[in-house]
Amino acid sequence: MSEFPFADEFGPARVEHLYEPSIGLQAVVVVDNVAAGPSIGGVRMAPDVSARECFRLARAMTWKNAAAGLAHGGGKSVIFADPGMPIADKERLVRAFAALVHDVHDYIPGPDMGTDETCMAWVRDEIGRAVGLPRALGGIPLDEIGATGFGLAIAVDVAAAHCGLELNGARIAVQGFGAVGKHAARFLAERGTVLVAAADIAGTIADPNGLDVAALIAVKAGGGRVVDAPFGEKLAREAVLDVDCDILIPAARPDILTVDNAKHVRARLVAQGANIPASVDAEHVLYERGILSVPDFIANAGGVICAAVEYHGGSEAAAFAEIEDKISRNVATVLERSRDLAVPPRSAAQAMAEERVRAAMGYRRWR
Ligand code: NAD
């Protein structure tokens, strides 16, 4: 236990270090809690992620999957390597990894940073199980259809009603105009919102009268940056966080909302698209300022809900229906509990997820 001093009543159930020296494969897989069913979690390829970090990511999946009411626990794996290696080397490494997780039956691999649907096709070819597969293998390409962005739009819809914000005409700002952010902007525009600012790694583009979402998506699809769009005012990258808006969607990377910049957020509602975009203290600042913040693992569960539907043989239409059903009910439950108990939404969400894992554990022989 010394390497996992953070092991607790929930897990991890299993930690495997995997080595195949002949091709330089080093990997770790963490199966955290499987009370609700076999774990689903991404395969991350990165040179610098520790086993401890892998555990933390697996635990986050336990909460996300439980909160979403999926018949799956949480897991994660890391292949310690540079994801930019030549494709033939990558295929050899991913296939070797797959062969070594063959017997880790309670782990279902999915795509994550450094891996994609092609990698998952190799994994499925080796061991017969993986999610996030190409369409040709019956997969539902979740980033292409915007599963997580769609879930965020649903979360915003429910949360806006909760805080008395009219969605039609609401001004939104999106940090990170990638797979999550651009689809969130698209689905919200269909609900009448106005995109007043969007940022990517190169900068922010803003217009208080509204940016053309479809045109901005086209700029990105052509390999451009948001600041390449022939409209809007070009601002510094971080400016997106304090533009005047009603709804802020951080959908870029972890830890971007700090105690300092949370004081300047001008939105009434924050919907967390990225994983852990705000520190605990930053969330507290938002809460004290009366800004409603929907926690990441509630708001951005669309992708994993889609993956679970795919795993159980469901269609794209079924995935959208499941995302809408689960996220709308969860956001409503979390925000009602938060209000009734006078606690931040994250505390309410965490308590709900733990309750669900405990309930599932109650049906197991060992608990
Ligand atoms: P992506 O790579 O498609 O897009 C990320 C975008 O963020 C890019 O446009 C990039 O330029 C921009 N960006 C990076 N750093 C930035 C910064 N400092 N300021 C402004 N923009 C910045 O990634 P994605 O799949 O959209 O994922 C975004 C986040 O959401 C990640 O934290 C990811 O872990 C999380 N997430 C993704 C999914 C999913 O289904 N893809 C599901 C749950 C959570």
Nearest-atom index, ligand 1, CA of 182: 26
Superfamily of 147-302+329-352 according to CATH: NAD(P)-binding Rossmann-like Domain (3.40.50.720)
pLDDT, tens only, 35-62? 999 999 999 999 988 888 899 899 999 9
pLDDT for residue 230 = 97
Q: How far apart are CA 245 and CA 55, in angstroms?
A: 36
pLDDT, tens only, 274-300? 988 999 999 999 999 999 999 999 999
pLDDT for residue 4 = 59
Residue of minimum CA distance from atom 17 in ligand 1: 201
pLDDT for residue 27 = 97
pLDDT for residue 180 = 95
* Cβ(252) – ligand 1 distance below 6 Å: yes
In 3D space, the residue among 193, 203, 201, 212 whose CA is nearest the CA of residue 152 turns out to be 193
State both tokens at 103. Answer: 């017997």
pLDDT for residue 1 = 42
pLDDT for residue 360 = 95
Q: Where in the chain is the domain with CATH 3.40.50.720?
A: 147-302+329-352
pLDDT for residue 308 = 97
Give the fold, CATH level 3, of 14-65+72-134.
Rossmann fold (3.40.50)
Nearest-atom index, ligand 1, CA of 256: 18
Catalytic site residue from 76, 90, 182, 220: 76
Count CA atoms closer than 13 A to 347's CA, side-chain side.
12
pLDDT for residue 260 = 96
| pLDDT band for position 253 (cuts 50, 70, 90) | confident
Is 64 a known active-site residue?
Answer: no
* Cβ(112) – ligand 1 distance below 6 Å: no
Q: How far apart are CA 350 and CA 35, in angstroms?
A: 17
C-alpha of residue 114 to centroid of ligand 1, in Å: 13
pLDDT, tens only, 169-223? 999 999 999 999 999 999 999 999 999 999 999 999 999 999 999 999 999 999 9
Q: Which helix (H) or strand (E) holds 273?
A: none
Q: Where in the chain is the domain with CATH 3.40.50.10860?
A: 14-65+72-134
pLDDT for residue 367 = 53
Model-level pTM? Answer: 0.95
Averaged pLDDT for residues 120-135: 97
| pLDDT band for position 364 (cuts 50, 70, 90) | confident
Residue of minimum CA distance from atom 28 in ligand 1: 252
Residue entry with tokens 């105009």: 177
Nearest-atom index, ligand 1, CA of 147: 40
Residue 237 near residue 198, CB atoms below 8 Å = no
